[in-house]
Amino acid sequence: MFEHTLNHSTSSPARLSRRVAAMGLVALAASLAACGSGSDNTNAGATATLAVLETTDLHFNVRSYDYFKLAEDKSYGFERTATLVRAARKEFANTLLVDNGDTIQGTALADYEATISPIPCTQQLSMYKAMGALGFDAGTLGNHEFNYGLPFLNQVLGGGLEVDGVDASKKCAGAGFPMVLANVTSNKTKKPLVQPYTVLERTLTAKGADGKEVKLPIKIGVIGFTTPGIMNWDKRYLEGKVSAEGAVEAATKYVPELRAKGADIVVALLHGGLDGAAYSPTMENPGLHLSKVAGIDAMVMGHQHGVFPDTAATPGFNLPGVDHKAGTVNGVPAVMASSWGKALGVVQLALQWDGSKWTVNKSASKSELRNIQSKNAAGANVYVDADPAVAPLIEPQHQAAIQYVKTPIGQTDFRMSTLFADLGDPGAIQIVNQAQQAYVAAYLKASLPQYAQLPVLSVSAPFKSGFQGSADYTDVAVGPVAINNAADLYLYPNTVYAVKVNGGDIKNWLEAAAKRFNQIDPAKTGEQALISSFPGYNFDMFTTADVQYEIDVTQPVGSRIKNLSYLGKPIDVAQEFVVATNNYRATSGKSFIDKLDGSGTIWASPDANRDVVIDYIRKNPAVTRAANGAAKSWRFAKASVAGPVVFSSGANALAVAQAAGLANVTLLAADDGSGKGTSKYGVDLSK
Residue whose CB is nearest to Mn ion in the complex, by number: 102
| Amino acid at site 556 | P
Largest CA distance in the chain: 97
From Mn ion, Mg ion, none, interface partner of 264 (C-beta below 5 to 8 A by class): none
Cβ proximity of 81 and 35 under 8 Å: no
Alpha-carbon Rg for the chain, nearest whole angstrom, is 28
Nearer to Mg ion, 49 or 61 (CB): 61
Is 412 within 8 Å of 476 (Cβ atoms)?
yes
Report the nearest approach of Mn ion to the CB of residue 7 (Å).
30
Q: Which is nearer to Mg ion, 303 or 610 (CB)?
A: 303
- Does 137 participate in binding Mg ion (rule CB under 5 A)? no
Rounded-to-integer distance, Cα 314 and Cα 369, Å: 14
Helix, strand, coil percentages (3-state) for the chain, rounded to 5, are 30, 25, 45
Min separation Cβ 102 and Mg ion, Å: 4
Site string (77-116) toward Mg ion, x via CB under 5 A: -------------------------x--------------
Which helix or strand (DSSP H or E) is residue 616 part of? helix 609-619
CB of 227 to Mg ion, least distance (A): 6
The mark string for 129-168 relative to Mn ion (x by CB under 5 A, - otherwise) is ----------------------------------------
Q: How far is the CB of 520 from Mg ion (least distance, A)?
A: 45
Of the candidate spans 26-34, 245-253, 295-303, 447-455, the one that interacts with Mg ion by CB under 5 A turns out to be 295-303
Contacted by 143, from Mn ion, Mg ion, none: CB < 5 to 8 Å by type: Mg ion
Stretch that binds Mn ion, among 49-57, 151-159, 535-543, 549-557 (CB under 5 A): 49-57
Contact 193, 161 (CB under 8 A): yes
For residue 560, give Cα distances in angstroms to 504, 536, 538, 552, 684: 14, 17, 16, 5, 18
57 binds Mn ion (CB under 5 A): yes
Q: Name the one range near Mg ion by CB under 5 A: 212-220, 286-294, 296-304, 526-534.
A: 296-304
The CB-of-304 to Mn ion minimum distance in angstroms stands at: 8
In the complex, minimum distance from the CB of residue 596 to Mn ion, in angstroms, rounded to a whole number? 22
* Residue 258 to residue 253: CA distance in whole angstroms: 9
Determine the size of the site formed for Mn ion (CB under 5 A): 2
Phi, psi of 529 (to 5 degrees): -80, 130
By beta-carbon proximity to Mn ion, the closer residue of 57 and 511 is 57
Part of the chain binding Mn ion (CB under 5 A), chosen from 15-23, 40-48, 53-61, 495-503: 53-61
Q: Using CB under 5 A, which of the segments 57-65, 128-136, 232-240, 629-637 binds Mn ion?
A: 57-65
Binder among 303, 464, 516, 560 for Mg ion (CB under 5 A): 303
Q: Taking CB positions, which residue lies at the least distance from Mg ion?
A: 303
Of 161, 158, 80, 65, the C-alpha closest to 119 is: 158
* Helices and strands in the chain: count of H runs, count of E runs: 17, 37
For residues 146 and 537, which CB has a smaller minimum distance to Mg ion in the complex?
Answer: 146
Q: Which is nearer to Mg ion, 143 or 348 (CB)?
A: 143
Return the number of the residue (89 or 303) whose C-beta is nearest Mn ion. Answer: 303
CA distance 239 to 272: 21
Taking the complex as a whole, the smallest distance from the CB of residue 303 to Mn ion amounts, in Å, to 6
Q: Contact, 347 vs 335, CB < 8 A?
A: yes
Nearer to Mn ion, 102 or 297 (CB): 102
> Cβ of residue 612: shortest distance to Mg ion, in angstroms?
16
Cα–Cα distance for residue pair 201/219, rounded to 1 Å: 5
Min CB(105)–Mg ion separation in Å:
9
Instruction: Closer to Mn ion by CB, 284 or 540: give it.
Output: 284
Residues 650, 656: Cα–Cα separation, whole Å: 10
The least CB distance from residue 271 to Mg ion, in Å, is 6
User: From Mn ion, Mg ion, none, which one binds at residue 540 (CB under 5 to 8 Å depending on kind)?
Assistant: none
* Contact present, 565 and 547 (Cβ < 8 Å): yes
Polymer length in residues for the chain? 687
Query: If binding is defined by CB under 5 A, does position 202 make contact with Mg ion?
Result: no
Q: Is residue 142 within the footprint of Mg ion (CB under 5 A)?
A: yes
Nearest distance from C-beta of residue 109 to Mn ion, angstroms? 16
Applying CB under 5 A, the site for Mg ion has a residue count of: 4
Instruction: Give the Cα-Cα-Cα angle 636, 640, 643 (nearest 5 degrees).
Output: 105
CA 187, distance to chain mean position in Å, is 29
Residue 357 interface partner, choices Mn ion, Mg ion, none, CB cut-off 5-8 Å depending on type: none
Is residue 232 involved in binding Mg ion (CB under 5 A)? no
Q: Reduce the secondary structure of 275-332 to three states and give it as a string.
A: CCCCCCCCCCCCHHHHCCCCCCCEEEECCCCCEECCCCCCHHHCCCCEECCCCEECCE
- State the burial class of residue 75 (Cβ atoms within 10 Å of its Cβ: 0-12, 13-18, 19+): middle
Contact letters (x/-) for Mn ion, 59-98, by CB under 5 A?
Answer: ----------------------------------------
- Binding flag, residue 143, Mg ion (CB under 5 A): yes
Q: With contact defined as beta carbons under 8 Å apart, do 250 and 183 qualify?
A: yes
102 binds Mn ion, rule: CB under 5 A: yes
Closer by beta carbon to Mn ion, 285 or else 328: 285
How many angstroms separate the CA atoms of 280 and 290, rounded? 11
Exposure class string for 204-230: b at 16+ Cβ within 10 A, else e: bbbbbeeeeebbbbbbbbbbbbbbbbb
User: Would you tell me which residues interact with Mn ion (CB under 5 A)?
Assistant: 57, 102
Binding site for Mg ion (CB under 5 A): 102, 142-143, 303
